[in-house]
Amino acid sequence: MSDLDRIETDVLILGSGGAGLFAALHVKAAQPDLSVTVAVKGLLGKCGCTRMVQGGYNVALAPDDSTERHFMDTIEGGKWLNDQDLAWTLVTGAQERIRELENELGCFFDRNEDGSVHQKAFAGQTFDRTVHKGDLTGIEIINRLSEQVWSRGIERLEDHRAVEFIKSEDGGALSGVLMIDIRTGDFRFVKAKAVLLATGGGPTMYRYHTPSGEKTCDGMAMSLRAGLSLRDMEMVQFHPTGLLAGEDTRMTGTVLEEGLRGYGAYLLGGDGERFMDKHDDRGERATRDIVSRAIFEEMREGNIGPLGGVYLSMGHLDGDEVRRQFKGMVERCADCGFDLVSGRVEVVPTAHYMMGGVEFEADCKTSLIGLFAAGEDTGGVHGANRLGGNGVANSTVFGGIAGDSIAEWVPAEGTFYDPDEAAIESALELCRRPLDRSAGDLEAIRLRLYDVMWEDAGIVRDAASLERARVALMSLDRDLDGIGVSGGDLAYNLTWHDWMNLKNLILVSRAITAAAVARVDSRGAHFRADFPDSGPLAASAFTRVVMKGDDMETQSEPVKFTRVQPGETLLDG
């Protein structure tokens, strides 16, 4: 392996979203002498999901709000499947982190006339607690975090994709990460004392999806291959209102943020009539899972617009206020030929977020020594359904905690482990597999994956559809292995990387399907048409998936109600 470049860093952070950048800053603040390297699949500050956050950041700040109320909304929204200690860490940590964002890192969020932070309504919450910067909150956060990272001597590996966790020679700890420099096509092994997994999720295996194209569940796929357990993988959140602009544009699936419905937007069927009241008493402000299923039902019944979706309408609201509060949304719709202010915009449920991920502790440690995890790569915080506005809070809260934990752990316990060279060779073989085969039609594989996951493992599932998905995914994996790509120049060889993207997406899709088969009830984002009841909340259990060989093994684990029992509340009265 003479062609394998090798470098060392005390701390390697995979991902440059809210979790990764916060962790980097916290490590450097606590331990300035540690070398910290952020590796990102694209450009730091210009890619990832945090930058795409529109709506805002949930945090209990108002005198009439409380952490207990935020916690109960999170638990009830998660249908009692949340790890309650993680959820409590989220709601309490958000209060500290939002002040850090403004007072230390330079973010500036929208204000009321009296100078207090403005908080808007988001669905599924009993209080208006979503802090925001117009509808471009993520850009504000990532711009400020990036500026701070650039100014602190933190190393960067941009255009580097992580392809495999490499364990120590005895398999008991993490040695480092095998990566590819996308700019040259060269492999690079990065040895580290501690690694933070913060690549984000990205359910881009569905026909309609919101994340950017580089989000292909790489971290989750690496975790599965490394033998780590993942929980709640059946819980894939569909945002109810993805822009539907036609099949020939990537703008389709882009989120029209939840604040629109919180402000009072209506959902209309193809017949021009509202339909949410027949699905939930909260109407358009019901949680994302309920609204997505309602839209999906209208679509199946044929109550649709010309592109196959339903309509979002704000024409009954104050147009000037809509333009002021949702400037980004208005402009985005106008770019696609739609008038959000006074017209109707066609929308469709779009795969948005994965509640499931690697099992981890409140200090962000995982079961693999040396590996920490934070953000959308992890499971347990949100349970069966994430409240809008809790996502960026999750990434920044646990990113900061991960940085603090790593800064404490590395000087005390961290060490450079020699890697398992056979594991490196095996990972190299997997990546090089398509380079020795004749080029094939990757786009056909992608479209088949879209169809399988949307139709058979999407918003509504049953035993028959999930079995179809299981069989089809195995077939897709075999077909992908038979397809090659041009192996000449590997510099920016996007076809090669697309093959690896699909390999990871298919693997994670298999985990989603296996978990969905195992859960024979309906909770939150997971709806089984053949098991529509939620089952007794007191007997709540989460689903764990582990990869053994080439098989996905599942087990059910009872939820520990460490703070509140179903039927109880932390609220006074």
The two tokens of residue 376 are 């959308």
What crossing angle do the helices spanning 137-150 and 390-413 adopt, rounded to 10°? 20
- Which one-letter DSSP state was computed for residue 433? G
Annotated catalytic residue, options 239, 446, 510, 519: 239
357-358, strands of its sheet edge to edge = 357-358, 230-231, 541-548, 551-558
**Catalytically annotated residue among 207, 261, 279, 526:** 261
Question: Cβ-count burial of 121 within 10 angstroms (0-12 exposed, 13-18 middle, 19+ buried)?
Answer: middle
The CA-CA-CA angle for residues 398, 180, 218, to 5°, reads: 40
Can 261 be counted among the known catalytic residues? yes
Active-site residue flag, 239: yes
DSSP bridge partners of 552 = 547
Q: What is the CA angle 454-480-186, rounded to 5?
A: 115
By DSSP bridging, strand 36-39 and strand 155-157 are: parallel
Could you tell me where the beta strands, DSSP code E, fall in 100-227?
119-120, 130-131, 155-157, 160-167, 174-181, 186-197
Give the number of other Cβ atoms within 10 Å of residue 530's Cβ: 12
d(CA 485, CA 497): 10
d(CA 391, CA 285): 18
Dihedral (CA of 231, 402, 146, 324) sign: positive
Contact (Cβ atoms closer than 8 angstroms) between residue 530 and residue 517: no
Q: What angle do CA 193, 94, 235 make, to 5 degrees?
A: 75
Active site residues: 239, 261
